[in-house]
Amino acid sequence: MIANGACSLPDSWRLTVCDYVEGALTLEQTRLDLLRHSRGHFIEQAARIDVHHGTLDQTVDVIQSRLLAEHAAAASPPLATFHYFEYPTGGHSLASLPGHHARVRAFLCAAYDLPPRRPGDIDEDGDVDGADLGHLLNAWGLVTATSRADMDADHAVGAADLAALLGAWGS
């Protein structure tokens, strides 16, 4: 592990282990520091965890999220509050993960005890009416990752979104 006096470990452990080898940390301090960086150690104490990962992510390998999901499933009892979403075409950016909007919104509503968004209520005024239809028509054809008018989260505002809005009309 030590080559010519220098540590040759993965970055996530290198500093801690090198500090131990060089005498800057005791064995107990090293163990505690490595434990603090363990992805599975505190998972049973988490209130809710949603992990969204794209398989095309070149920044963080998807295997890291898969391992975290395995830790959550192996917890005793398994964590009902852990949700793993894998996106076959997504990259590192949340905006590159198709369909993530509804899942993120559900997570935030649950985390902050907010009522879920009413389908079709684009302006979020509590009802589905002509104002929402106007917003949808203004965004028609728009290719976006963030528009509230894109109700089916396909990154485009079109006929499916209009159908969803009309299906919720008057609610």
Mapping DSSP to helix (H, G, I), strand (E, B) and coil, where does residue 85 land?
strand
pLDDT of amino acid 19? 79
pLDDT per residue as tens digits for the range 42-96: 555 556 778 889 999 998 889 989 988 888 888 777 777 788 889 898 888 888 8
pLDDT per residue as tens digits for the range 98-110: 877 777 777 777 7
How distant, in Å, are the alpha carbons of 28, 69, 122, 134, 171 from that of 117? 49, 28, 9, 18, 12
pLDDT per residue as tens digits for the range 23-41: 888 888 877 777 666 655 5
